[in-house]
Amino acid sequence: MLSTDEISANEESTTRAGIDRKVTINIVVLGSANADYSMRTPRIPSAGETLQGSDFQFALGGKGANQAIASARLGGRVAFVACVGRDSAGELALATYRDAGIDVDAVSVVDAPTGSALIFVDDAGENCIGVAAGANEHLAQSHAEAASRRIANASHLLMQLETPIATIQAAAEIARDCGTQTILNPAPARPLPRELLALVDIVTPNQTELASLTDMRVTSQTETVEAARELQSRGPNTVIVTLGAAGALVVTDDTVIPVETSQVAAIDTTAAGDTFNGALTVALAQGETLIDAVHFANRAAALSVTRRGAIDAIPTRVEVDAFR
């Protein structure tokens, strides 16, 4: 829980940064924390087969954690609400979030394994992934309620869909009650109750997620706008559709604005969406206009695709400000 001293320290630092005193840069990210175990195999193993692999890698991930780290690296003061397991991956995850400057008091250690992904990548670059949600499944409504003071003190609450929907909805209700803006990155796409979408201010699907959420075709700009309008009719004021190398399309009540991004040599798009969402939230929390915030998010995400990995690919504020 933030103490009064911490809250006023935050106000002071925003004033020093030249930002309006009333603007708060407290952000709460609620979501998943995972450990990814990957290796290269000559081909994807078939049922019953054992293959010799190489290039084993361990990396922390999970959309919640990636977005919390992106928000912190890009200048946000971030509290993370999540569950990790009582295991070495959970310990490493907590230490990594702390090192990134994230408030981890609302990260619970539970009696389940830390969420894990097992990934095989073959010589042709195809992959095959199994995910065990583990501790993420334990993120309960009571965890959202325990974080209510943090949510109330934040300007923005950022969430994704790798944790139980009932918890996401409970957090969105708390946010709505105390005037905190809710940003939902609906990834991975899964059916969403209307009551949840009704509580969301900004929703940020990619085109595949938009198609899946609306059951509509999303292959042209006209279709993208139609599907975004359908999603908007279910609650959110603003739909920001991410379009990969084409940037993003911002759909509000009365405007449709394409926001192009920089041309870069993309080598790995793993954390592009997570970087985009973290950056968007930070810029909005700092009082940027919606379109300026999307430009900032595009710049941060474009930088992330020029680097390999998830957390390792997320740029810092200084790097994004220097990248025009």
Summarize as ranges the residues that interact with ligand ADP (CB under 6 A): 187, 206, 242-245, 247-248, 261, 264, 266, 269, 272-273, 276, 298, 301-302, 305
Residue nearest to ligand ADP (CB): 273
Q: Taking the complex as a whole, how short is the minimal distance between the CB of residue 143 and ligand ADP, in angstroms?
A: 25
- Look up tokens 């920089």; give the residue: 262
CA angle 224, 230, 232 (to 5 degrees): 100
The dihedral sign for the CA sequence 202, 204, 205, 206: positive
**Minimum distance from CB of 208 to ligand ADP (Å)?**
7
Smallest distance from ligand ADP to CB 217, Å: 17
CB of 199 to ligand ADP, least distance (A): 22
Catalytic residue among 274, 292, 312, 321: 274
**CB closer to ligand ADP out of 52 and 220:** 220
**Considering beta carbons, is residue 224 or 298 the nearer one to ligand ADP?**
298
| Nearest to ligand ADP of 31, 90 (CB atom) | 31
Give phi and psi for 157, each to the nearest 5.
-115, 125
Over the range 158-167, which residues count as b (16 or more CB within 10 Å of their CB) and which as e? bbbbbbbeeb
Return the number of the residue (171 or 241) whose C-beta is nearest ligand ADP: 241
103 is catalytic: no
Residue among 153 and 270 whose Cβ is closer to ligand ADP = 270
Task: Name 92's Cβ contacts closer than 8 Å, sequence gap at least 6.
Answer: 35, 60
End-to-end CA distance of the chain: 37
SS3 label, residue 39: strand
Max CA-CA distance within the chain? 62
Task: Using the Cα atoms of residue 286, residue 170, residue 243 and residue 216 in order, give the sign of their dihedral.
Answer: negative
What minimum distance in Å lies between the beta carbon of 213 and ligand ADP?
A: 14
Which positions are annotated as active-site residues?
274
